């Protein structure tokens, strides 16, 4: 009996144990179903719902872009010689994703030391691109051989840094033609924001001045690059796609390199400008302005010494050939034309000149304080008589004088293909009333007729003025791009043949027996006009504009010296002569 009870108890205990094990198995199955179901659901969610985003995140770590900037188009002179080209140098690039790595602070510090760039500047460029950007970003250009060696020596500590070769802008003649060519530089933040829609990107260079800026879209070219797959160490495994960069187009200028050198040599270290132009169609043959700059300094990171040198120069980026100054007696060309075309004077008119003209209680002196006796238009131009042209200006009145100044293009931009051109200024009665609250007096006409007062004319506008008698009565539009269609660039002023003849006679007499005798040389016949412009309390400006050969002009040259003192014939006349003689030597080569 006891044995039966014991067995019954054992079976009951066994039955209870068996039931518990079943419940454990059921519980395990349920828990497993929940676990694997959750994992499956998560995997399904990641794949089906978040799949695109996760694939993109994976690609950002695996697929990268190596951009290839285009080679910028060359700028050539009229004979095909390179004024702005390209040379190959080494640049340093950085994968923005490297900024996520723990060693990033050490990478930045080492790069900054080798490249001599502030760490904050490197960090700023990465932040501009964005640390998730798949593209390389340039952080230094035109690095030295020593820097290349240093980067290679520290390669193991520079994760995400690449060194590659690319085209770098190069100006083989240094400062020669700087104000024509301009310079290039990387886009700043404002420029980048404005041009993103045109395909520009971080690290792009752009023309900042001169022809480089005017013809940016022509010279620029189209970016190319490679899409590559990299491993965990950033090493390229394979190339996924490639687009070849398309170089920019070359442009040919009307400028002659030899003549440009001659113009800059003639100007020397004197603040001012020289413009040489073909009077038949307005093609610019040379355009010099001093002080200048070396555009090569902007093609790579500027040194402190270069920056300090620029600070010592007096406004080196101002193209003085395009800025307005009092034209002084060179303006008498306009006054002569206005007088002859007005019908109030004939080609045979003779006027008495005086020591001074008096009006409104003021005396307007001739420059020699004695006058030149009776003179016609040609003789008055030769001797630059203030009292002769003062009488002409007073008689024709401000309306006619202002009208002809504007018909010659003064008071408005010439339209030359360079940025930064000033329009100059032609005062008139309305301006005087609005500015000073008073009317126009005879004295105002006297002052304007001899190129003084508020009148402002640029050396380029003066060249356009001298081109009118030189080409027989056409106003030309100055341009730097070489063209074979002269009619496109000129407009007839419908001058009477007698007007052109008298003015040309006077400009020739300026050289043969007047204020421009320094240009009276046997090898070429030159015609022209001098000018001395007041700029109190500073020394006055000096001018000379001329053309040659006098009987069949091929070149107009205007020289301007800022606050030079002296006389236009003695200061600027020899400059014009040097450029004309250089042209005669090189025109057939």
The tens place of each residue's pLDDT in the chain, 589 residues long, gives 444 344 444 444 444 444 455 555 555 555 555 544 444 444 454 445 544 544 544 444 567 667 777 899 999 999 999 999 999 888 898 888 778 888 888 999 999 999 998 999 888 888 888 877 777 788 888 888 999 999 989 988 888 888 888 888 999 999 999 999 999 988 888 888 888 888 787 778 899 999 999 999 999 988 787 777 776 655 667 777 777 888 999 999 999 999 999 999 999 999 999 999 999 999 999 999 999 999 999 988 788 898 889 899 999 999 999 999 999 999 999 999 999 999 999 999 999 999 999 998 889 999 999 999 999 999 999 999 999 999 999 999 999 999 999 999 999 999 999 999 999 999 999 999 999 999 999 999 999 999 999 999 999 999 999 999 999 999 999 999 998 888 899 999 999 999 999 999 999 999 999 999 999 999 999 999 999 988 889 999 999 999 999 999 999 999 999 999 999 999 999 999 999 999 999 876 6
Q: What is the pLDDT of residue 57?
A: 40
CA 522 vs. chain centroid, Å, equals 40
Instruction: Please answer whether residues 509 and 382 qualify as being in contact, where contact means their C-beta atoms are separated by less than 8 angstroms.
Output: yes
Last residue of a domain, one of 188, 219, 252: 252
Q: Alpha helices, DSSP H only, in 291-425?
A: 304-312, 332-341, 377-383, 386-407
Q: Give yes or no: residues 161 and 289 share one domain.
A: no
- Residue 465's SS3 state is helix
What's the domain count of the chain? 2
48 falls within a domain: no
SS3 166: strand
DSSP alpha helices (H): ranges in 51-142?
51-62, 104-115, 119-129
41 CB-near residues (< 8 Å, 6+ apart): none
483 found inside a domain: yes
Regarding whether 344 and 247 lie in a shared domain, the answer is: no
CA end-to-end distance (rounded Å), the chain: 140
The residues facing 166 across adjacent strands are: 89
Structure-block tokens of residue 135: 């593209």
Q: Are 94 and 198 within one domain?
A: yes
Distance (Å, rounded) from C-alpha 527 to C-alpha 500? 13
Say whether both 276 and 248 belong to one domain.
Answer: no
Angle, CA 405 vertex, CA 399 and CA 409 arms, to 5°: 135
Structural domain that includes position 100: 62-252
Same domain, 207 and 325: no
- Domain final residue, candidates 217, 252, 287: 252
Residue 212 and residue 346 in one domain:
no
In whole angstroms, what is the distance from residue 140 CA to residue 449 CA? 57
So what's the pLDDT on residue 472?
A: 96
Rounded Cα gap, residues 435 and 432, in angstroms: 5
Residue 545 in any domain: the answer is: yes
Write down the pLDDT at residue 25: 56
Q: Write the CATH number for 274.
A: 3.40.710.10
Does a structural domain hold residue 194? yes
Q: What is the phi/psi pair of residue 425, to 5°?
A: -155, 135
The token duo for 331 is: 């303006």
- 38 in any annotated domain: no
Let me know whether 271 and 405 are in one domain.
yes
Which value, in Å, is the radius of gyration of the alpha carbons in the chain? 38
Instruction: For residue 43, tell me if it sits in a domain.
Output: no
pLDDT the model gives residue 46: 41
- With beta carbons less than 8 A apart as the criterion, state whether 350 and 376 touch: yes
By three-state DSSP, how is residue 50 classified? coil
**Site of tokens 């020899």:** 574
Domain for residue 39, yes or no? no
Could you tell me if residue 522 is inside a domain? yes
* φ/ψ of residue 345, rounded to 5: -140, 145
Q: Do 241 and 275 share a domain, yes or no?
A: no
Same domain for 85 and 110?
yes
Domain of 157, CATH number, reads 3.90.1310.10
């Amino acid at each position: 009996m006891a044995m039966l009870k014991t067995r019954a108890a054992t079976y009951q205990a066994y039955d209870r144990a068996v039931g518990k094990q079943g419940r454990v198995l059921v519980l395990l199955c349920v828990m497993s179903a929940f676990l694997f179901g959750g994992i499956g659901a998560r995997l399904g969610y990641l794949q089906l719902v978040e799949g695109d985003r996760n694939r993109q995140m994976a690609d950002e770590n695996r697929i990268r872009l190596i951009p290839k900037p285009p080679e910028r188009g060359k700028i050539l002179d009229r004979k095909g010689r390179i004024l702005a080209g390209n040379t190959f140098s080494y640049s340093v690039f950085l994968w923005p994703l490297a900024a996520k790595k723990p060693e990033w602070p050490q990478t930045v510090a080492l790069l900054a030391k080798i490249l001599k760039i502030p760490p904050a500047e490197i960090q700023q460029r990465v932040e501009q691109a964005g640390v998730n950007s798949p593209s390389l970003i340039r952080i230094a250009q035109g690095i030295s051989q020593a820097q290349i060696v240093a980067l290679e020596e520290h390669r193991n500590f520079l994760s995400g840094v690449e060194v590659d070769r690319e085209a770098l802008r190069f100006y083989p003649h240094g400062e020669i033609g700087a104000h024509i060519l301009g310079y290039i530089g990387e886009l700043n933040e404002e420029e980048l924001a404005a041009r993103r829609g045109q395909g520009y990107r971080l690290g792009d260079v752009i023309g900042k001045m001169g022809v480089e800026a005017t013809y940016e879209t022509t010279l620029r070219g189209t970016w190319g690059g490679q899409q590559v797959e990299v491993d965990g160490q950033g090493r390229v495994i394979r190339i996924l796609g490639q687009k070849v960069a398309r170089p920019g187009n070359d442009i040919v200028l009307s400028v002659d390199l030899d003549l440009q050198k001659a113009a800059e040599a003639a100007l020397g270290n004197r603040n001012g400008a020289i413009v040489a132009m073909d009077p038949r169609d307005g093609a610019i043959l040379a355009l010099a302005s001093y002080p200048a700059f070396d555009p090569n300094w902007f093609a790579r990171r500027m040194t402190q010494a270069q920056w300090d040198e620029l600070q010592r120069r007096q406004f080196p980026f101002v193209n003085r050939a395009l800025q307005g100054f009092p034209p002084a007696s060179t303006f008498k060309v306009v006054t002569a034309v206005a007088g002859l075309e007005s019908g109030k004077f004939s080609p045979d008119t003779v006027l008495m000149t005086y020591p001074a003209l008096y009006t409104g209680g003021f005396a307007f002196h001739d420059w020699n304080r004695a006058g030149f006796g009776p003179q016609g238009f040609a003789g008055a131009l030769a001797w630059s008589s203030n009292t002769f042209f003062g009488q002409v200006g007073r008689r024709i009145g401000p309306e006619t004088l202002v009208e002809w100044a504007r018909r010659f293009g003064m008071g408005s931009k010439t339209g030359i293909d360079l940025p930064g051109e000033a329009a100059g200024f032609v005062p008139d009665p309305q301006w005087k009333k609005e500015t000073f609250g008073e009317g126009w007096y005879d004295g105002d006409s006297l002052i304007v007729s001899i190129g003084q007062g508020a009148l402002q004319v640029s050396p380029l506008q003066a060249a356009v003025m001298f081109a009118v008698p030189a080409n027989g009565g056409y106003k030309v539009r100055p341009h730097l791009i070489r063209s074979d269609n002269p009619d496109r660039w000129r407009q007839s002023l419908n001058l009477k043949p007698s007007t052109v003849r008298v003015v040309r006679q006077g400009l020739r007499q300026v050289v043969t027996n007047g204020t421009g005798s320094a240009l009276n040389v046997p090898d070429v016949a030159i015609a022209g006009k001098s000018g001395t412009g007041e700029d109190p309390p500073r020394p006055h400006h000096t001018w000379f504009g001329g053309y040659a050969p006098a009987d069949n002009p091929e070149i107009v040259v205007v020289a301007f010296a800022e606050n030079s003192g002296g006389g236009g014939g003695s200061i600027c006349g020899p400059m014009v002569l040097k450029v004309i003689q250089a042209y005669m030597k090189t025109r057939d080569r």
